[in-house]
A and B are shown apart, each in its own frame.
Chain A
Amino acid sequence: MRRYFGFVKKEFLHIFRDFRTLIIIFGIPAAQILIFGYAVRTDIKNAGIAVLDLSRDEITKRLTGKILSSGFFRKTEDLYSYKDIDRVFKKGSTKAVIVFEEGFGRNLMREGEAGVNIIADGSEPNSATLVTNYLQAIVNSFNLELGRTGTASAALIVPEVKMLYNPNLESQFMFVPGVITLILILICALMTSVTITREKEFGTMEVLLVSPLKPIQIILGKVTPYFFLSVFNVIMILLLSWLVFGLPVKGSYVLLLAVSMLYILMALSAGILISTVSTTMQQAIFISLIGMMLPTVLLSGFIFPIENMPKIYNYLSAVMPPRYFIVIIKNIMIKGTGFGFVWKETLILLAMTVLFISLSLRKFKIRLQ
C-alpha cells in the first residue's frame, strides 16, 4: 500500500510539474466548452440578410420589420435589382436574400396570395437550411397574424412545432454532453497512454520492472491521479456550462457523476491498453487520437446522428464506448431521466471497462520483450 501511494505521489508530481499536461487537463476543457458553446452553433443569431423589395408597400415593410426584430437576423443591405443578389452573396456576410415580388401587398389583398422568394447561400448548406427554416417560420406566423386581423383572407393551417426539452433548440444542450464525452476520452485515454509509454521511452520502465512493484500497482498508480483529475473536470465543465450558458442538469447529479466515473474508468483502461501495445509516445498519441478521439467526434452521435449513417458506420459506432455515454449523459442532463432508462447503456460501458482492464493486465509485459 505504501508503494502504491508513493507511486501516486510521483505521478501527481509529474502532472503538476509539466506545464503542457496542466494545459491539456485544465485549459482545453474550458476552452472547448467556450468554443463549442459560442462559435460552433446550430442555432442562429444575427445572420445577415439582404432585402430586395420590389413592392415597397405597407405589408412588405411590416414583414421586413418582423423578420429583423426577431433577433435572428440583421439587414446587411437593401437591394434594388435582381442583379445585386449575386454580388451581395459574394461579399460573404449575407446568408439569405428576401425578395418581395412587385405589387406584393396589392396581390395579397386582391388575390389572397403573394409571392415572397427566399434565396439562400447554398455553399453553406447547414446555415442555409437553418436560415430558410427560420425565415419560413417567421413568414408563417406573419401569415397567421394577417389572417387574424382580417387584412387578408388567409385560411391557413399553420403547424405549430414545439421542441420538447430544448424549446429554443439551443446548441449548448447538444454540445455540453458531447464535450464532456470528448474531454474525458482525451484526458483519460491520451494522457494515461502517454505517461506509461513515456516511462518506456525514457528507460524508467526498465527500473520499475526490476522493482518488486506488481503490474497492477504500476497501472493503478498511473490511473489514480487521472481519475481524480477527470472527476474534477466533469464538475468543472458542468459548473462552467451552468454559469456561462445557464445549462441546468435536469436529472440526478449523483447518477450523472456515478456514470461519468464509470466512463472515466473505461477511458482510463482503454488508455492503458493503448500503452501496452505501443512502445513510443508518438505511437500512443497516434492511436489515441485516430482510434479514440476521431471516432468520438464522428461516430458517437455527438455531431452527426447515428440513425442517418450508412449501416456499416452504424455497426462501427456500436463498438465505440462514447456512443453509449452520450446517450446516458443526454438523458440525464437534458431529459432528466433516471437510471431505469439508461441501465442498458451503463451495462455496456461496464462490460467494456472490464474487457479493457483484463486485456491490459494480460498484455502488460513484466519483462522488456
Chain B
Amino acid sequence: MAPVIESVNISKKFGNITALYDVSFEVNVNEIFGFIGPDGSGKTTLFRIIATLLLPDSGSMKVLGLDSVSGFKSLRREIGYMPGRFSLYQDLTVEENLKFYATVFGASVEENYYLIADIYSHIEPFRKRLAGNLSGGMKQKLALSCALIHKPKLLILDEPTTGVDAVSRTEFWAMLERLKEYGISVIVSTPYMDEAMRCSRVALIQNGRILSVDAPLKIRDSFSRRLFRIRAGDKYSLINALRKYPETVTAFPFGDSVHTTFKGDSYDNSLSEYLIKCGLTDVTIQETKAGIEDRFLELMENSDQKNTDQIF
C-alpha cells in the first residue's frame, strides 16, 4: 500500500528563521506516527503543512496520495486536524460543537458515533455544558471527537495530551490504538516520552531537522554507551559537579536523578571521592537502561553541539 504521508525535502522559512530544513519521512497506513522534539523544533509548522494550512517553501508533501498544495480541496475532506491550542467554540455546548463539526464535514453524529463512542461516552453526561467550562482533559476528548466525527483517513494531532491528567492520557491513547481497526492513520506530536513508546514509529525532531525515525524500542536500544543513574541530596550541585568531572561525557537531569555517561563507559572510585569532595551527601550510583529520552538527548548532542544548551 502507498504511504499515507510522503514528505520529501520539505523546507519552510518564516522571515530569517528556518522552521523546517529538508524534512523527509514516510508514514505508513494504520501507523501511529509520533513526532518528538522540544518546543520550537518545527512540529506545529510541519503539521500545518500536512494539514494544507501552510505552503512549504520547497520540497514535496504527498498526503493520502494527493499533493498537499495543489490537492488541498480534496484533501480537506479526508483529514481530521486537532490544533495544539484548544480550538472549539467555548460558548457552544459539548453537543453543539460535535454536531457543528459533523455538519461542516458533511457527516452526521449518528453514522460515525461508533468511532468516538469510547471517548465521547466520558463527556456525554456533560453534553449540555458549555465547552469553555470543561476541564482540560474533557476539552481534549471533545476536540478529538470533533476531529474524528467525519471519519477521516488521516488524523493529525498536535500535542493532544498536553495539560491532560494521567488517567485521561491513558484513555486517549487506548482510543488512538483502536483507530487502526477502522483504517485511520494517526500522526501525533507529544512532549511525553512514555507516550512516544506507544507509537508505531517515532521521529525525533530538533531545530527543524529530523534526527532519527524508527520504532521507539529500536531508538531506545541504539543508545551507544552505558548509562549510569546517579543520585545525591542536592541534585543541582550534583549536575554541576558531574559536568565538571573530566571523565564525564554527558550529564542530564532525569526525574530525581542524573543520567550520566563516562569516557570508557565505566567509572572508578575517584568519582565518589570527587563527589564527596564537592560536598555532596547520600551519593548512589547505579547502571540503568537507557530510555528514549536518553537516546534523544544523545542524538541532539551529536547533531548540534551549539544549540543544545539553549534548549535545555
Interface residue ranges, A against B (CB under 8 Å): 2-3, 5-7, 9-10, 13-14, 17-18, 202-204, 206-213, 366-369
Q: List which B74-97 residues lie within 8 A (CB) of chain A.
A: 76-77, 79, 81, 83, 85-92, 96
- Among B48, B76, B83, the residue within 8 A (CB) of A211 is B76
Identify 28 residue pairs between A and B in the complex whose beta-carbon atoms are under 8 Å apart, listed by A's number.
Answer: A2-B103, A3-B103, A3-B104, A6-B99, A6-B103, A10-B96, A10-B100, A13-B91, A13-B96, A14-B91, A14-B92, A17-B91, A202-B87, A204-B87, A204-B88, A206-B87, A207-B81, A207-B146, A210-B51, A210-B52, A211-B101, A211-B104, A211-B105, A367-B52, A367-B54, A367-B55, A368-B54, A369-B54
Say yes or no: B53 contacts A209, CB within 8 Å: yes
Q: A10-B100, A210-B81, A211-B76 are in contact. List 20 more A-B contacts (CB 8 A).
A: A2-B106, A6-B100, A6-B103, A7-B104, A9-B100, A10-B89, A14-B91, A206-B83, A206-B87, A210-B52, A210-B53, A211-B101, A211-B105, A212-B104, A212-B105, A212-B106, A213-B104, A368-B54, A369-B54, A369-B55
Interface residue ranges, B against A (CB under 8 Å): 48, 51-55, 72-73, 76-77, 79, 81, 83, 85-92, 96, 99-101, 103-106, 146-147
Say yes or no: A14 contacts B100, CB within 8 Å: no
Whole-angstrom distance between the alpha carbons of A367 and B76 in the complex?
12
- CB of B149, distance to nearest CB on chain A (Å): 11
Residues on B with beta carbons closer than 8 Å to the beta carbon of A18: 91
Q: A210-B76, A210-B79, A213-B104 are in contact. Are A14 and B89 (CB under 8 A)?
A: yes
Nearest neighbor of B105 in chain A, beta-carbon distance? A211
Residues on B with beta carbons closer than 8 Å to the beta carbon of A211: 76, 101, 104-105
Whole-angstrom distance between the alpha carbons of A14 and B90 in the complex?
10
Closest 4 CB pairs of A and B: A6-B103, A203-B87, A210-B81, A203-B85
Whole-angstrom distance between the alpha carbons of A9 and B93 in the complex?
13
Say yes or no: A204 contacts B104, CB within 8 Å: no
- CB of B18, distance to nearest CB on chain A (Å): 16
Whole-angstrom distance between the alpha carbons of A18 and B48 in the complex?
31
Nearest neighbor of A17 in chain B, beta-carbon distance? B91
Whole-angstrom distance between the alpha carbons of A369 and B19 in the complex?
14
Residues on A with beta carbons closer than 8 Å to the beta carbon of B48: 368
Residues on A with beta carbons closer than 8 Å to the beta carbon of B89: 10, 14, 202, 204
Residues on A with beta carbons closer than 8 Å to the beta carbon of B99: 6
Whole-angstrom distance between the alpha carbons of A203 and B100 in the complex?
16
Whole-angstrom distance between the alpha carbons of A205 and B299 in the complex?
37
Nearest neighbor of B103 in chain A, beta-carbon distance? A6
Residues on A with beta carbons closer than 8 Å to the beta carbon of B76: 210-212
Nearest neighbor of A207 in chain B, beta-carbon distance? B87
Residues on A with beta carbons closer than 8 Å to the beta carbon of B106: 2-3, 212
Residues on B with beta carbons closer than 8 Å to the beta carbon of A207: 81, 83, 87-88, 101, 146-147
Whole-angstrom distance between the alpha carbons of A107 and B299 in the complex?
112
- CB of B1, distance to nearest CB on chain A (Å): 24
Residues on A with beta carbons closer than 8 Å to the beta carbon of B86: 203
Whole-angstrom distance between the alpha carbons of A7 and B89 in the complex?
12
Residues on B with beta carbons closer than 8 Å to the beta carbon of A13: 91-92, 96
Whole-angstrom distance between the alpha carbons of A21 and B51 in the complex?
33
Residues on A with beta carbons closer than 8 Å to the beta carbon of B72: 366
Whole-angstrom distance between the alpha carbons of A206 and B48 in the complex?
9
Nearest neighbor of A369 in chain B, beta-carbon distance? B54
Nearest neighbor of B48 in chain A, beta-carbon distance? A368
Q: A3-B104, A10-B100, A368-B48 are in contact. Are A203 and B83 (CB under 8 A)?
A: yes
Residues on B with beta carbons closer than 8 Å to the beta carbon of A202: 87, 89-90
Whole-angstrom distance between the alpha carbons of A3 and B96 in the complex?
14
- CB of B109, distance to nearest CB on chain A (Å): 12
Residues on A with beta carbons closer than 8 Å to the beta carbon of B104: 3, 6-7, 208, 211-213
Nearest neighbor of B158 in chain A, beta-carbon distance? A206
Whole-angstrom distance between the alpha carbons of A14 and B88 in the complex?
12
Most-contacted residue by chain A among B73, B79, B87 (CB, 10 A): B87
- Among B53, B73, B92, B147, the residue within 8 A (CB) of A10 is B92
